Amino acid sequence: MSSIFRLDASIRQDGSVTRAVADTLEAAIVEDLDRVEVVRRDVGATPLDGTVWGTAAFAGWTPEDDRSEAQRAALAVSAELADELVAADVLIFAVPLYNFGVSQHFKTWWDVVGTDPRFAPGSTTLAGKPAFLVTARGGGYGPGTPREGWDHATGWMRRVLEDVWGLDLDVIETELTLADVTPAMAELRDLARAQLAESHDAARNSARSVTLRLRRAA
């Protein structure tokens, strides 16, 4: 049996582009494999308590016998999050751009995972594991656009998933998702629709390559 871990960080359920593209990706993987378990963590709908990270970080520097109840509880949370990643064969992260930066809920989740000893600096716990980052942005940030360089989320997410954790990362990006509801973006609506369709196609194609890889490894 194969397993997928999927994280969603969109703060909305209805109309979410990252959830829709991740649904396409997840469904295509599930359809292509015989038996698949999907473990989901929705930090957009149920964010982690923001105080867990600080408590867990200092708990790691406290001798085990001296840890407070709160420190033990915080480390139990980070162990549970880390277990979900370690157990999965494929990881899917569906995370939008918010306020030109990374979703605070995704950042908190990543920070808390980092307090588990399996994710200490230099660890290779997830090295080479296939993973997908599905992201969406309301505007456009391509070369030559007025907001080029203003997306401070995608680069950071690539850095921590690819370079810090060593995941074999495939990134599926959709831009202009606010075109339909923003009058000033009316002329970009066709382009937005085309980009969204491309992202769903990319999700289906990427699913095929990852299921081939899983079958070969089985």
Closest to ligand FMN by CB, 88 vs 134, is: 134
Distance (Å, whole) CA 202 – CA 173: 10
- By CB under 6 A, name the one of 16, 103, 115, 211 that touches ligand FMN: 16
Among 4, 5, 19, 29, binds ligand FMN (CB under 6 A): 19
Closest CA to 139 of 149, 131, 125, 128: 149
| In the complex, minimum distance from the CB of residue 128 to ligand FMN, in angstroms, rounded to a whole number | 28
Binding segment (CB under 6 A) for ligand FMN, from list 15-23, 123-131, 154-162, 198-206: 15-23
Nearest approach, Cβ of residue 200 and ligand FMN (Å): 13
Query: Toward ligand FMN, which CB reaches closer, 15 or 54?
Result: 15
Contacting residue, 2, 24, 78, 177, with ligand FMN by CB under 6 A: 177
Name residues contacting ligand FMN, limited to 91-110 (CB under 6 A): 96-100
Q: Nearer Cβ to ligand FMN, position 19 or 41?
A: 19
Q: What is the largest CA-CA distance in the chain?
A: 63
Question: What is the number of residues in the chain?
Answer: 218
Q: How far is the CB of 15 from ligand FMN (least distance, A)?
A: 6
Q: Does 46 bind ligand FMN (CB under 6 A)?
A: no
Residue 139 makes contact with ligand FMN by CB under 6 A:
yes
**Which amino acid is residue 199, in one-letter code?**
S
Contact between 12 and ligand FMN by CB under 6 A: the answer reads: yes
Contact of 195 with 176, CB cutoff 8 Å: yes
C-alpha 9/C-alpha 26 separation (Å) is 16
Does residue 131 contact residue 167 with C-beta atoms inside 8 Å? Answer: yes
Chain contacts with ligand FMN (rule: CB under 6 A): 10, 12, 16-19, 96-100, 136-139, 177-178
